[in-house]
Structure 1
Amino acid sequence: MSTDTATTTAASRRPDRSSPRPNGQWKIDGKDPLNHNEELKQADDGLNVRERIEQVYSKEGSDSIHSDDLRGRFRWWGLYTQRRPGVPAGAHNSLPPEEVDDKYFMLRVRIDGGALTTEQLRVVGQIAVDFARNTADLTDRQNIQLHWVQVEDVPEIWRRLESVDLGTTEACGDVPRVILGSPVAGICAEEIIDPSPVIAEIARRYIGDSTLSNLPRKYKTAITGHPSQDVVHEINDFGLVGVVHPEHGPGYDVWVGGGLSTNPRLAERLGVFTTEDEAPDVWHAVTQVFRDYGYRRLRQKARLKFLLNDWGPEKFRQVVEDEYLGHRLRDGLPAPAPSRPGDHVGVHRQKDGRYYIGAAPVVGRVNGELLVKLAELLEANGSHRLRTTPHQKLVVLDVPEQNLATVKAGLSDLGLDPDPTVFRRSTMACTGIEFCKLAIVETKTTAQKTISALEIRLADVADQLPERLTLHINGCPNSCARIQTADIGLKGQLLPDPDGEKTPGFQVHLGGGLASSDREDPGLGRTVRGLKVTVEGLVDYTEALIRRYLRTRDSSSESFAAWAHRVEEGQLQLEEPEPQLQEPAKGAVS
């Protein structure tokens, strides 16, 4: 398509220039920045801050860091300031940032597709030991996050990471974030198509590309070829889901415009099919649409989901084709609904005859020493690869059959359970107030205590519980732990106590879920007016709710999500814990 035609097409979408409220869309309103975030990005590309970190800040210390670098451009290299210890919950809304920021950083290691070698794992683990007080968390974006990092140590951390082909480039910031990929890419016999080549090609071409380093906000990608649809594509800005086209064979169904936070919206299909070879170009085209037409005036409306909501998928597809690709895309069909959960927990046979094992740390909390020991365990048993998952889990690959028992026992000894309870398997938690400046409540320890308590309290009905019953705990409204897509989602907030003070607690969302084996259509959780629970009352409420579900569900096949959307609000409200369930629910498996 010619430049003149593209310009005319863009001009035809321009609103009346007399409008007093431009949205900051570059192709419509021009590039004049409309807020400070846009000013600092235009003043200097976030990618350029690396040189200042290496040459200035790491030598002169944290006090030398310019505020726009500290709270802005550092994110382009995976660095966020941590919450200063002792800062009270909610204080970030009233205190100046310099009173909330600590001199230490969270550092996010970017792991596209979650793919790691044991050599890479050992390096990350040793970095955690040497520079991060042994901290390490597996995130639901397949990254590893470290804490207590000092700017003086960042150049050496980069040197070690890059020596094994890892890094932190664009791990945060208004850029293309880490690319989620199926944790069993290339090894599963059921796989429709291996997404590894597409992930690698997108990363090679575009990560660190200055033409895409100033997007309106973060831009998330998820790609899978596995029939379980194991990368939560419905809540990503761009998603590719493996599908077999009747004429063109295996390829991808394209999804656009998902995201959660305070304005959740599930992605939509563009109705197109793309081949492996075409997929990176389609990704690039959609990303450029976001760059050029995304809303930049208000950051809370700067995600791609808001543009898609206003345009709709048909118009979005047309702009992609007419202005960025210059040709029509093939029409496509949706992928079949998943037939099993996509967390890959447990032991599974690979297509080459070896095995992979999905193991569950408690809500992603690990440490550097553990990661080093895990690398040693795998290498001693013939495995040199593993994957992180979008569910805060690990999948170790290529285990010979004769070593399965040894590896399983070793994983258990490390606290990485290959046969977890439903609560350990299905609970996630964000970073929380321990390190995050936006958090209002503690999450990781709360989740650990809740899991342990529910395992004991509900032991008498363990055989009646579904295979998965997701509990997601978030420290603030931003939904890093995907609360709206959980069976039980908890959004952190401060609640009034009987003495008129504030106590940490949660707003409760119930019955959310993405495409899964027991839910064909993804949907967001249900909120009930006034349904809130304190941290102290969380275990009592969750136990009572689960027992009520088991007692009143239609049959053993009715999922928690279906039940939560079906029953009256009173069934979901706070009550005292119900008596122990003595008899199996009607239709339950005993």
Structure 2
Amino acid sequence: MTTPTRNPRPRKPSRPKGQGQWALGHREPLNKNEQVKKDDDGLNVRARVENIYAHAGFDAIDPADLRGRLRWWGLYTQRKPGIDGGKTALLEPEDLDDRYFMLRIRIDGGQLSVRQLRVVAALAKEYGRDLADVTDRQNVQLHWIRIEDVPDIWKRLEEVGLHTQEACGDCPRVILGSPVAGVSADEVLDATGIIDEITARYVGDKAYSNLPRKFKSAISWLPDIPYECNDISFLGAVHPEHGPGYDLWVGGGLSTNPMLAQRLGTWISPAEVANVWAGVVGIFRDYGYRRLRTRARLKYLLKDWGVEKFRDILQDDYLGYKLADLDAPPLPDKLVDHVGAHRQADGKYYLGTALVAGRLTGTHLDRLADIAQKYGSDRIRTTPMQKLLLLDVPEERVEEAKADLRELGLHADPSPWRRSTMACTGIEFCKLAIVNTKDRAAELVAELEKRVPELDVPISVHVNGCPNACARTQTADIGLKGQLVTVDGKQAEGFQVHLGGGHGLDAGLGRKLRAHKVAATDLADYVEKVTRRYLDQRNEGETFAHWATRADEEDLK
């Protein structure tokens, strides 16, 4: 007897998993981070710091505040000393936490006065073991901060117009701006007032303080910001009918799944920038993916929607009007780093100086304030390339000022190596890092200045301690991503190599060499070798990025 055939019951098509998008009704937290934010807004943690933690000490800090909400006020726990990179991904957060904090001072547009600089210097010396790092987000980052000292630090910063609010966390972070805004002879529009408007209206506003992930912004007339790497960027552009305004770029971000921002094809007038900025942040807040943090950046939403849908929703649901179309304006050859002596629009000069990998001390900053006062300047600028600028130097005193800065380790006529090397925080303080970055970068610069002094064009070298690309490894000529390698049968610090990344006309994420890793101890040898091959093989006027794109893979190893 045969068994009768059973007709299976037709299955309903499976519904795709919700991504935690608020606009679609998915309000219940889908991971621990979202639960922490729902339980209490990160901005509220300041009161607990001032009223509880600063008095009761580190052990009194609620774990959800310690590894979550404190970031909304610029505080991260440092990495406990002595933990090697091989344990970074193996240990629990509480095993990596030191009892000290990194503190980011938010400097929107990179603008500092002498008075502000002196306060930052004093805080670094008094509370941060005299260490002060200039980041590639135009912040200054202090280390070794105790929770007991944070209220006094906040008070003294705010007395001079600085703060740490939303310097970290799932919120709108510091807004990058041109370090020569308002003084450059090449500038048509000064975005300083726009940056001030956005920070005054929206930073600290709880309507925008709970985003799916961090949100990075940049606004400048000049191509001196890494506009393709931000969630939103406004880059100067002239409309044939409406005149000077801004070209809107959205959805950039690097890390483990890098994507460059895309143009929305719109012209934004200066008066519209703040509202358009808020509209894009609103889309991210309402439609951004909150299920997996690895897919929570705005770039993933833009990739899934496409530019046309993103623009339509921005116009129809968040602005209520159509934006003017803008054909793609000419792209810059490269980003401007402002290193050197340059004439300002008023006839004075600004001096752009290179320091190695952003590493400074509070004592250095105090001395820089002295130099600024000596030459009648009250304006110092940080840059997205980890540089420092001194503005308003009289023409007849430029060489004297350059000499004073050089004695401080700030070079206005640096070697190409010193000029173009950047590094993230690294294993010294960062809990995500695998390798040392600051020391490696300093050693690399010193070695290459001796070994390849004939280099006649800048080759950017970006050193990162982990895959997160805080030092923008994928858009460097030579990007070095920290990882462990095997040397003589033992684990050691090393780097995966990216070659030929860039911005503007050379925009791209670089060429990742298959199975190519370099031990940290061999780093200078490798960079020297690949540089000499470039110098030997380049065509006239050919950049390193163009050469690296066409070179045989064996010549890049």
TM tier, smaller? over 0.9
Aligned twin of 1:561: 545
CA distance in 2, matches of 1:339, 1:397: 25
The answer as to whether partners of 2:501 and 2:545 remain within 8 angstroms in 1 is: yes
Stretch moving more, 340-349 or 68-77: 340-349
Does residue 353 (structure 1) correspond to residue 343 (structure 2)? The answer is no
Does residue 316 (structure 1) correspond to residue 310 (structure 2)? The answer is yes
CA distance in 2, matches of 1:427, 1:33: 41
1:336 deviates by 2.1
Aligned twin of 1:509: 498
Does residue 203 (structure 1) correspond to residue 203 (structure 2)? The answer is no
The answer as to whether partners of 1:432 and 1:474 remain within 8 angstroms in 2 is: yes
CA distance in 1, matches of 2:84, 2:241: 60
Does residue 65 (structure 1) correspond to residue 61 (structure 2)? The answer is yes
Q: In structure 2, which of residues 36, 39, 46 is the aligned counterpart of residue 43 of structure 1?
A: 39
Aligned twin of 2:9: none
1:337 deviates by 2.3
CA distance in 2, matches of 1:181, 1:240: 10
1:410 deviates by 1.0
CA distance in 1, matches of 2:305, 2:200: 30
Aligned twin of 1:479: 469
1:42 deviates by 0.6
Does residue 149 (structure 1) correspond to residue 145 (structure 2)? The answer is yes
1:338 deviates by 2.0
Q: In structure 2, which of residues 511, 514, 517 is the aligned counterpart of residue 529 of structure 1?
A: 514
Q: In structure 1, which of residues 426, 442, 458 is the aligned counterpart of residue 452 of structure 2?
A: 458
Quickly say closer, same or farther: Cα 1:63–1:404, change in 2 above 3 A. same
Does residue 140 (structure 1) correspond to residue 130 (structure 2)? The answer is no
The alignment partner of 1:212 has SS state of coil
The answer as to whether partners of 1:22 and 1:29 remain within 8 angstroms in 2 is: no
Q: In structure 1, which of residues 167, 186, 191 is the aligned counterpart of residue 163 of structure 2?
A: 167
The answer as to whether partners of 1:250 and 1:275 remain within 8 angstroms in 2 is: yes
Query: After the TM superposition, which residues 175-186 of structure 1 pair with which residues of structure 2 at under 5 Å, given as runs?
Result: 175-186=171-182
Q: In structure 2, which of residues 215, 218, 223 is the aligned counterpart of residue 219 of structure 1?
A: 215
The alignment partner of 1:221 has SS state of strand
Does residue 549 (structure 1) correspond to residue 538 (structure 2)? The answer is no
Q: In structure 1, which of residues 99, 104, 108 is the aligned counterpart of residue 104 of structure 2?
A: 108
CA distance in 2, matches of 1:254, 1:553: 35
CA distance in 1, matches of 2:334, 2:306: 31
Query: After the TM superposition, which residues 379-390 of structure 1 pair with which residues of structure 2 at under 5 Å, given as runs?
Result: 379-390=373-384
Aligned twin of 1:572: 556
- Give the superposed CA RMSD: 1.2
Aligned twin of 2:387: 393
1:528 deviates by 1.3
CA distance in 1, matches of 2:409, 2:484: 32
**Unaligned 5+ residue runs, structure 1?**
1-15, 574-590
1:365 deviates by 0.4
Query: After the TM superposition, which residues 262-301 of structure 1 pair with which residues of structure 2 at under 5 Å, given as runs?
Result: 262-301=256-295
Aligned twin of 1:539: 524
1:553 deviates by 1.4
**Unaligned 5+ residue runs, structure 2?**
1-11
Paired letter, 1:265: M
Aligned twin of 2:86: 90
1:29 deviates by 4.0
Paired letter, 1:565: T
CA distance in 2, matches of 1:335, 1:409: 40
Aligned twin of 1:13: none
CA distance in 2, matches of 1:502, 1:72: 32
Query: After the TM superposition, which residues 354-369 of structure 1 pair with which residues of structure 2 at under 5 Å, given as runs?
Result: 354-369=348-363
Stretch moving more, 522-531 or 149-158: 522-531
Identity of aligned residues (%): 57
The alignment partner of 1:251 has SS state of strand
The alignment partner of 1:524 has SS state of strand
1:257 deviates by 0.1
The answer as to whether partners of 2:480 and 2:495 remain within 8 angstroms in 1 is: yes
The alignment partner of 1:396 has SS state of strand
CA distance in 1, matches of 2:366, 2:13: 59
The answer as to whether partners of 2:226 and 2:335 remain within 8 angstroms in 1 is: no
1:405 deviates by 2.1
Aligned twin of 2:20: 24
1:358 deviates by 0.1
Paired letter, 2:500: G
The alignment partner of 1:189 has SS state of coil
The answer as to whether partners of 1:90 and 1:439 remain within 8 angstroms in 2 is: no
CA distance in 2, matches of 1:128, 1:398: 26
The answer as to whether partners of 2:225 and 2:335 remain within 8 angstroms in 1 is: no
1:30 deviates by 2.0
1:252 deviates by 0.3
Residue-by-residue CA offset, 1:419-455 (whole Å, 9 max, x unaligned): 1000000000000000001110001011101101001
Quickly say closer, same or farther: Cα 1:329–1:20, change in 2 above 3 A. closer
CA distance in 2, matches of 1:554, 1:111: 41
Residue-by-residue CA offset, 1:359-414 (whole Å, 9 max, x unaligned): 01111101101101111111121101011000000111111122212211111011
The answer as to whether partners of 2:280 and 2:314 remain within 8 angstroms in 1 is: yes
Q: Number of aligned pairs?
A: 546
The answer as to whether partners of 1:548 and 1:571 remain within 8 angstroms in 2 is: yes
The answer as to whether partners of 2:18 and 2:26 remain within 8 angstroms in 1 is: no
CA distance in 2, matches of 1:41, 1:429: 31
The answer as to whether partners of 2:19 and 2:26 remain within 8 angstroms in 1 is: no
Aligned twin of 1:585: none
The alignment partner of 1:179 has SS state of strand
TM-score (norm 2): 0.97
TM-score (norm 1): 0.91
Aligned twin of 1:582: none
Q: Which runs of 4+ in 1 moved over 3 A?
A: none
The answer as to whether partners of 1:116 and 1:386 remain within 8 angstroms in 2 is: yes
The alignment partner of 1:33 has SS state of coil
Residue-by-residue CA offset, 1:245-275 (whole Å, 9 max, x unaligned): 1111110000000000000000000000011
Paired letter, 2:61: I
CA distance in 2, matches of 1:402, 1:45: 53
Q: In structure 2, which of residues 95, 101, 113 is the aligned counterpart of residue 99 of structure 1?
A: 95
CA distance in 1, matches of 2:315, 2:125: 49
Paired letter, 1:570: E
Stretch moving more, 185-194 or 387-396: 185-194
Does residue 344 (structure 1) correspond to residue 338 (structure 2)? The answer is yes
The answer as to whether partners of 1:253 and 1:333 remain within 8 angstroms in 2 is: no
The alignment partner of 2:545 has SS state of helix
Paired letter, 2:441: A
The alignment partner of 1:211 has SS state of coil
1:339 deviates by 5.2
Q: In structure 2, which of residues 180, 183, 188 is the aligned counterpart of residue 187 of structure 1?
A: 183
Q: In structure 2, which of residues 441, 444, 456 is the aligned counterpart of residue 447 of structure 1?
A: 441
CA distance in 2, matches of 1:135, 1:26: 42
Paired letter, 1:452: A
Query: After the TM superposition, which residues 402-481 of structure 1 pair with which residues of structure 2 at under 5 Å, given as runs?
Result: 402-459=396-453, 461-462=454-455, 465-466=456-457, 468-481=458-471
1:90 deviates by 3.2
The alignment partner of 2:85 has SS state of coil
CA distance in 2, matches of 1:188, 1:98: 48
Query: After the TM superposition, which residues 242-261 of structure 1 pair with which residues of structure 2 at under 5 Å, given as runs?
Result: 242-261=236-255
Stretch moving more, 428-437 or 94-103: 94-103
CA distance in 2, matches of 1:29, 1:302: 17
CA distance in 2, matches of 1:313, 1:109: 34
Paired letter, 1:295: Y
1:20 deviates by 5.3
Aligned twin of 2:368: 374
CA distance in 1, matches of 2:84, 2:450: 33
